[in-house]
Structure 1
Amino acid sequence: MAEVLGKANLFPTCSYSQEKNLEGGACLIPKKISGFCLEKNKFSSLKLKSLASRSDFNCQRVVFLEKKNMNKRRFSQVPIKAQIQTGLISRGQKWWEKGLQSNMKEVTSAQDLVDSLLNAGDKLVVVDFFSPGCGGCKALHPKICQFAEMNPDVQFLQVNYEEHKSMCYSLNVHVLPFFRFYRGAQGRVCSFSCTNATIKKFKDALAKHTPDQCSLGPTKGLEEKELLALSANKDLPFDYTPKPVQPTPVPVHEETLVAKQVPSHSNTKLPLSVQTTSLTQRDSEEKTLVGAER
């Protein structure tokens, strides 16, 4: 029985363990077991019998380790950050990515911010400057999402301060959370910083500038000085050509008055008016009468 067991089960098991070692795995069966030798036809039947009596598998071949288990072991040794970057582990949503509405958008560049403001038309646009490490920004985010849901006609733009520091410096944004409101031809209508404690500022500004308005001119967006500051920033891939300065038109009646003015250095004497001449003659006549009476 021991001879049959050795030929049928023992050597295939050993060859399987050798294949596992070649594949990079590990076999739980040691190369040398006390009681018998792995060489063919060289083992002790007595000790093998005692070993078989202690086994619960009745001398059947059992595979303890599969190759996929080794892959899992190697996978666990990869850093978590690398697994997230390569997509092996699904990345959870960040707090500023939760609760976003269809009218909320994250700005990707300075050009994207400028284009989003210009393409908004007469809509009210709220630019939200936030930072992932700002506790006030995190606490205020759910309420901003609620306002966006209640005002679907208002466009909300999110600017991540950590990703766009240079752009924020050019726009003079140095405190967070910070908000700027833009509307059509008026351009920027208000700007302020608020938290949960001063959320009334945001509510009042939203109620004041949300009603429908009709702009008589083109959408303004960022101010001229802000556009120049962005284009002057070498860290930003943004180009802007200043608008040519046009002379202020002078009304026609003002031009007429200016042409009739007499220079101060002129020697031209103005003629005396008729009223002034008559008064002088009257005074001389009165003096003549007074002399005659004497």
Structure 2
Amino acid sequence: MAEVLARSSLVSPCGDQCSLSLPSVGRRNPSFVAIRRGSCRHVEALKSSSRSSHFHGRRLVVGATKGRPLRGFLPSISAQMTLCVGKSSKWWEKCLHPNIKVIDSAQDLVDTLQNAGDKLVIVDFFFPGCGGCRTIHPKICQFAEMNTSVLFLQINHEKHKSMCYSLNVHVLPFFRFYRGANGRLCSFSCTNATIKKFKDALAKHSTDRCNLGPAKGLEESELLALAANKDLSFSYTNKPVLVPSPFDIAERAAADLKLPVHLIPRVSQGSEKKTLVTAQG
């Protein structure tokens, strides 16, 4: 329905005149405001009060105050107003720095840990309704801001409950530290009152170091538990384990004992079972 704007002249008691554009008043549209003769001061007060109001969509009734109607206004004037308020961020979505990543799935967690290289990775398990998780969150964000070389991972226990159970996370807030080929370094639970535990672990494991080999990430048992979880779309195949031959084992033992070469055990080639024999001097 098109709105028709009407011009209403308002005359103040002092003789001043001002004009205000108002939508036409209809019986079937209670959201329009009908204002007849009144004071300019009352109009300006109404404008300023509407701008600073915090009613947030509740019904606003402009009328009698303590039994006395406003001067120059009708005894009962009602207005239906609505403010467009932006969606507020949740507490765990605030103060997120570039080195803080939100984990979306089990595969995302495994890939992120394996691609981290020698970088220290801290996994933060939290629950939206946990008071301890909420109070410690600003401190974790401060640590992330001060340690830009450290990667922080956030896992929402409420959203990924099944994955957290497979990782044996049952106490919140909970933290796990990973680094390179060493894999998991430590894991513990702490709150804002015991934040020193987190500071000490961060100071201990954040020193620069070079690890030989690819990043280990999760433990083998954790990967198998995630793969066995039917609620997760995660698959994992056991990596083949290289078993050293008997000769390699004997050679390493001889090297450790510093034995002469002629005393190193050899494997006979004539037997299918490759029986160990000792070389004759």
2:277 aligned counterpart, secondary structure: helix
In percent, how many aligned pairs have the same letter? Answer: 65
1:159 aligned counterpart, secondary structure: strand
For residues 241 and 117 of structure 2, the distance between their equivalents in structure 1, rounded to whole angstroms, comes to 24
Say whether 1:220 aligns with 2:216: yes
For residues 217 and 182 of structure 2, the distance between their equivalents in structure 1, rounded to whole angstroms, comes to 8
Say whether 1:172 aligns with 2:168: yes
- Alpha-carbon deviations, 1:176-205, whole Å to 9, x = none? 000000000000011000111211111011
Say whether 1:191 aligns with 2:187: yes
- Alpha-carbon deviations, 1:77-113, whole Å to 9, x = none? 9xxxxxxxxxx86321111111111100111100111
Partner in structure 1 of residue 148 of structure 2: 152
Query: 1:246, CA displacement in angstroms?
Result: 1.7
2:241 aligned counterpart, secondary structure: coil
Bigger proportion of residues as helix? 1
- Alpha-carbon deviations, 1:115-143, whole Å to 9, x = none? 11111111000000000010100010000
Aligned length: 188
Structure 2's unaligned 5+ residue stretches are 3-23, 33-56, 59-83, 255-263, 268-275
Displaced runs of 4 or more, over 4 A: 65-70
Partner in structure 2 of residue 129 of structure 1: 125
For residues 213 and 162 of structure 1, the distance between their equivalents in structure 2, rounded to whole angstroms, comes to 35
1:56-75 alignment, distance < 5 Å: 63-64=25-26, 69=31
- Alpha-carbon deviations, 1:250-283, whole Å to 9, x = none? 243453495129xxxxxxxxxxxxxxxxxxxxxx
TM-score w.r.t. length of structure 1 = 0.59
1:30-45 alignment, distance < 5 Å: none
Partner in structure 2 of residue 255 of structure 1: 265
1:247 aligned counterpart, secondary structure: coil
Judged with a 3 Å threshold, the aligned counterparts in structure 2 of structure 1 residues 240 and 68 are, in CA distance, closer, same or farther, namely farther
1:225 aligned counterpart, secondary structure: helix
Letter in 2 for 1:248: P
Partner in structure 2 of residue 101 of structure 1: 97
Judged with a 3 Å threshold, the aligned counterparts in structure 2 of structure 1 residues 69 and 145 are, in CA distance, closer, same or farther, namely same
Say whether 1:117 aligns with 2:91: no
For residues 68 and 164 of structure 1, the distance between their equivalents in structure 2, rounded to whole angstroms, comes to 47
1:219 aligned counterpart, secondary structure: coil
Partner in structure 2 of residue 230 of structure 1: 226
> RMSD of the alignment, in Å?
2.7
Letter in 1 for 2:119: K
Judged with a 3 Å threshold, the aligned counterparts in structure 2 of structure 1 residues 219 and 66 are, in CA distance, closer, same or farther, namely farther
Query: 1:69, CA displacement in angstroms?
Result: 4.5
Judged with a 3 Å threshold, the aligned counterparts in structure 2 of structure 1 residues 142 and 255 are, in CA distance, closer, same or farther, namely same
2:236 aligned counterpart, secondary structure: coil
Say whether 1:201 aligns with 2:163: no
TM-score w.r.t. length of structure 2 = 0.62
